[in-house]
Amino acid sequence: MKENRTFKWGFGPFLAGVLLLTCRLGTAQPLNSQVSQTPIYEGYVIYEGQYLELPYEFTWDNGLLTLNDLPMQLPRPGQFSRRNGEGAGRGQRFRMPPNRATAWLKRRLTQESVLLCWADRPAVFVSHDKGMALLQILMGDTPSKDKISALGQDTGYNMKPDQRKALVQHFIVTDALLTRLNPESRSSEVPVESDEEQWYSDQFVSALTLSGFALAVLALGTLLKTHRPTTLEPDPEAPAAAVKLIILIVVLNIYDLICTLYAHGIGGLWELNPFAGSMMDQTAMVVVFKLGLTFGAALLFFVARHLRIAQLGIYWMGVLYTVLILRWITYNAMFI
């Protein structure tokens, strides 16, 4: 009878642990990601052979991607690099979420890359050095056939034959492009407002990061002070320590939720949970989902806090969420 009751109560801590793990919707980039919601004033975009003037804005509408209200297609999967944490690897097995794709596009443009776009063909990103050479070829006086051949000789341009041909045939040298390529005109293209908006963004990230450091220190101190349960023998001090850890877990969960929503808002969240992909676009559902599971798990742990198995689960959940908080405040964390 005693063994049966122990098993029944032991199921509560197990369920609480499952609920807390379910709260983790996905993983995201560190807080100091350079991706922002403001328009992009860097990089070069050639759309259907014509240079688009700054700024650049990517938007999604019913699953369709547009650039400055012009329809475009994402680059082929091979241009997304998993090694750099940029998205999918080879093939079509991984479908990049819209917010993640937008973040990748913005990040590449801020590196002064050249983006070649068509309405009916996949876009192509060319690195800054290769892009400048590409523009020189397109603006040259050589015949179109020689330009297509020159573009095909260098694999760094990442273009298929049909893309090279379409680019050369439709390319137009505009005054805006000539002005942009003039180094003396570059400094006047970025408006003052973007600096102010970036300052407010940096202030928020700094406050969020500093609070994360404070929570991490508090969590580590609490865990070091708490003796990890190693036996099934009862400990009169363990229930009180378990309550402190439960409160700590709830606080860390709330901080994790704030970071998750912020990372998703700036496009830095890479969703790993296939069931949570659609939910991430609805902030209210995410908040209700995560807080509901968090407080439900905390209640189960609190009720079962006198059980050694519950005390052990509470301790290791505290360790898990401490690691997650450290990850949020660490640049280029190993989990990315």
Burial letters 303-316, b for 16+ CB under 10 A, else e: ebbebbbbbbbbbe
Domain range for 115 is 44-189
> How far is Cα 287 from Cα 276, in angstroms, rounded to an integer?
12
User: What is the structure's pLDDT at 129?
Assistant: 79
Judge if 147 and 53 occupy the same domain.
yes
Chain centroid, CA 299 distance in Å: 31
> How far is Cα 101 from Cα 109, in angstroms, rounded to an integer?
13
Judge if 204 and 153 occupy the same domain.
no
Does a structural domain hold residue 333?
no
User: What is the structure's pLDDT at 233?
Assistant: 64
Q: Could you read off the pLDDT of 52-61 as tens digits, one per residue?
A: 888 888 887 7
Mark which of 189, 213, 248 sits at the end of a domain. 189
Kindly give the residue spans of alpha helices, DSSP state H, lying in the chain. 2-23, 98-110, 128-138, 144-153, 161-170, 175-180, 183-186, 192-225, 238-265, 283-303, 308-328
> How far is Cα 255 from Cα 210, in angstroms, rounded to an integer?
12
Can the peptide bond before residue 274 be classed as cis, meaning omega within 30 degrees of 0?
no
Residue 283: how many CA atoms within 13 Å on its side-chain side?
8
Judge if 134 and 245 occupy the same domain.
no
Judge if 181 and 237 occupy the same domain.
no
Does a structural domain hold residue 334?
no
Judge if 12 and 55 occupy the same domain.
no
Q: Could you read off the pLDDT of 283-296 as tens digits, one per residue?
A: 787 788 888 888 98
Does a structural domain hold residue 169?
yes
Task: State the sign of the Cα–Cα–Cα–Cα dihedral 226, 227, 230, 235.
Answer: negative
User: What is the structure's pLDDT at 325?
Assistant: 86
Does a structural domain hold residue 223?
yes
Judge if 182 and 80 occupy the same domain.
yes
User: What is the structure's pLDDT at 247?
Assistant: 92
Identify whether the C-beta of residue 327 lies closer than 8 Å to the C-beta of residue 24: no
Mark which of 152, 173, 189 sits at the end of a domain. 189
Higher-pLDDT residue of 161 and 93 is 161
Identify whether the C-beta of residue 45 lies closer than 8 Å to the C-beta of residue 117: yes
Higher-pLDDT residue of 94 and 9 is 9
Does a structural domain hold residue 202?
yes
Judge if 51 and 170 occupy the same domain.
yes
Does a structural domain hold residue 39?
no
CA-to-CA separations, 257 to 140, 232, 316, in angstroms, rounded: 53, 34, 19
Does a structural domain hold residue 59?
yes
Adjacency order of strands within the sheet including 44-47: 50-52, 44-47, 114-117, 124-126
Chain centroid, CA 2 distance in Å: 49
> How far is Cα 204 from Cα 208, in angstroms, rounded to an integer?
6
Higher-pLDDT residue of 223 and 206 is 223
Judge if 240 and 260 occupy the same domain.
yes
* Residue closest to 6 by CA, chosen among 306, 228, 296, 246: 306
pTM of the model: 0.51
Judge if 110 and 28 occupy the same domain.
no
Does a structural domain hold residue 336?
no
Q: Could you read off the pLDDT of 211-231 as tens digits, one per residue?
A: 888 998 998 888 888 776 666
Angle CA 314–322–98, to nearest 5: 115
* Residue closest to 76 by CA, chosen among 53, 101, 100: 101
In this structure, of 9-23, 69-83, 116-130, the range with the lowest mean pLDDT score is: 9-23
Mark which of 151, 173, 189 sits at the end of a domain. 189
Judge if 215 and 98 occupy the same domain.
no
Judge if 236 and 303 occupy the same domain.
yes
pLDDT over 50 (residue 30)? no
Q: Could you read off the pLDDT of 47-104 as tens digits, one per residue?
A: 988 888 888 888 877 778 888 888 988 887 655 443 333 333 333 333 555 666 777 7
> How far is Cα 142 from Cα 119, in angstroms, rounded to an integer?
27
Judge if 185 and 211 occupy the same domain.
no
What's the domain count of the chain?
A: 2
